[in-house]
Structure 1
Amino acid sequence: MFSTTRAGGVSSGRYASLNLGTHVGDAPEAVAENRARLQALLPSSPFWLEQVHGTHVADADQPAAHQPADAAVTRTPGRVLAVMTADCLPVVIAAPAAGVLAVAHAGWRGLAAGVLENTVAAMALPPGAVLRAWVGPAIGKEAFEVGDEVRAAFASTCPPPTGAFLPAGTCDAAGLPKWRADLPALAEQRLRTAGVEVVVHSGLCTVADNHRFYSYRKEGATGRFATLAWLEP
């Protein structure tokens, strides 16, 4: 399991250098070379998703699994799961003893709508299975200013954890308050409610560490890095 960084590829300009996204305007031949360099380090070709900020979970072990999805699950050793991000949360969820692995792309919309809960459910674990999760590099709470509709989306299902939404000191055009949102804390709440016992955070902010990671919030048009995981053969 690891996340790539910006380094080690051939893309140039705003996409420099290891952009792995085919949908961001980068030269297709550069992305193809970047993906080939990455694949050379992996046990198999990554199972790339067509991410749409939704809650669908793909079964990477099924031949016809490729469809719009923001998470994937596998029970096959050596099958590489991947999600691409540039501020959203990449989340890896594993049940080592049960031999099940999943990854999820969790922007605020998908997170509020239940992408992590859907991912855990799709793992179809036996009773008593121990779940662990890793929350990768994403926009940090100091950089993620959101409107009141984001806070309301989370509050509509359950009270957010203390400190997950702090006043930003500004208002939107309608006069509603803006907030600084803690996506990793919101994700941990969802994960633990879904039965994940261990949650580990990378602690890395894509905005603060923009020299290492792509950040859509900071850069606008930019590349995508990947978080990849697989079960050991």
Structure 2
Amino acid sequence: MNSEPELILPDWPAPQNVRAVCTTRLGGVSLPPWDSLNLGVHVEDEPGHVQTNRQRVADRLGLASNSFGWLSQVHGTEVATLPAEGVPEADGSITDRPGQVCAILTADCLPVLFCNRSGTRVAAAHAGWRGLCSGILEKVAAGFDEPASELLAWLGPAIGPEHFEVGPEVREAFIGYDSRAAGAFSEHGARPGHFMADIYRLGRQRLESAGIEAVFFNSFCTVADSRRFYSYRRDGQTGRMASLIWLES
């Protein structure tokens, strides 16, 4: 519990001045059920533990703790431009200021990091199914000055398709926007009338619809990998990982 934070580095061809990482649950001081690198202040963990964990991440990355643009995430489509006053109620953030960190907290939802090929702007999005279906990824992409073809996106750790069971209303909502979404649902849910959903595929479809062709991802599953990842669906009361992106000063 006293080791350094364990980090995941995106495998994508971002410009050299673009830095991005995703934390795991390893390397912090929080006690069960938040053990150990919980970065969420809203999950009933001891506030002092969360602040210590956040400082550990900042120290590991060589960043000031006040450079992190934490959000109050509400499964919506608001995008905050950073730096901002206080803690914005938003599910996406974007910045062109070097050293300013866009930060997204997740524990099953899909985190998506963005940058432009010129390395002058970065962004992050929290895409639970509601925000994803409502257009959070498209809203973040629209915050860049360049055409979408000049953007790169990386999809971080989220619930895998073998564990994401949803009701018919979720499938209908996505298909109502784009009929291609039907391919991201399979009729193998444990409950009658339910479906297994592939949030990675749904995310890629929405990014491609927005014109972003350079989309990168790994085969993570927050539910299946309990050693590295928090999962709200698996554990209920649990911590949060952070997906972070910034421009080097």
TM-score over 0.5 (shorter chain): yes
The answer to whether the aligner puts 1:232 opposite 2:245 as a matched pair is no
Q: Which amino acid aligns with 2:175?
A: A
- Given candidates 25, 32, 54, the residue that maps to 1:13 is 32
Structure 2 counterpart of 1:199:
215
Q: Deviations over 1:72-99 (max 9, x none)?
A: 0001122111100000000001103161
Alignment size in residue pairs: 227
Structure 2 counterpart of 1:145:
165
TM-score computed with the length of structure 1 as normaliser: 0.92
What's the offset of the Cα at 1:35?
A: 0.8
TM-score computed with the length of structure 2 as normaliser: 0.87
User: Structure 1 pair 127/196, CA: closer, same or farther in 2 (3 Å)?
Assistant: closer
Structure 2 counterpart of 1:160:
180
- Given candidates 63, 67, 79, the residue that maps to 2:100 is 79
Between the aligned partners of 1:65 and 1:130, the Cα distance in structure 2 is 31
For structure 2, the 5+ residue unaligned runs are 1-19
What's the offset of the Cα at 1:195?
A: 1.6
Structure 2 counterpart of 1:221:
237
What's the offset of the Cα at 1:13?
A: 1.1
Q: Which amino acid aligns with 2:235?
A: E
What's the offset of the Cα at 1:200?
A: 0.5
Between the aligned partners of 1:128 and 1:134, the Cα distance in structure 2 is 14
Q: Which amino acid aligns with 1:84?
A: L
What is the correspondence of 1:42-121 to structure 2 with a 5 Å cutoff?
A: 42=61, 43-44=63-64, 45-61=67-83, 63-64=84-85, 66-97=87-118, 99-121=120-142
Between the aligned partners of 1:94 and 1:6, the Cα distance in structure 2 is 25
User: Structure 1 pair 170/102, CA: closer, same or farther in 2 (3 Å)?
Assistant: same
What's the offset of the Cα at 1:194?
A: 0.9
Percent identical: 49
- Given candidates 34, 51, 58, the residue that maps to 1:32 is 51
Between the aligned partners of 1:143 and 1:100, the Cα distance in structure 2 is 34
Between the aligned partners of 1:102 and 1:72, the Cα distance in structure 2 is 5
State whether residues 59 and 65 of structure 1, in contact with CA within 8 Å, keep that contact through their aligned partners in structure 2: no
Q: Which amino acid aligns with 1:166?
A: S
User: Structure 1 pair 188/127, CA: closer, same or farther in 2 (3 Å)?
Assistant: closer
For structure 1, the 5+ residue unaligned runs are none
Structure 1 counterpart of 2:196:
180
Let me know the Cα RMSD of the aligned residues: 1.6
What's the offset of the Cα at 1:171?
A: 3.8
Between the aligned partners of 1:46 and 1:155, the Cα distance in structure 2 is 36
User: Structure 1 pair 169/60, CA: closer, same or farther in 2 (3 Å)?
Assistant: closer
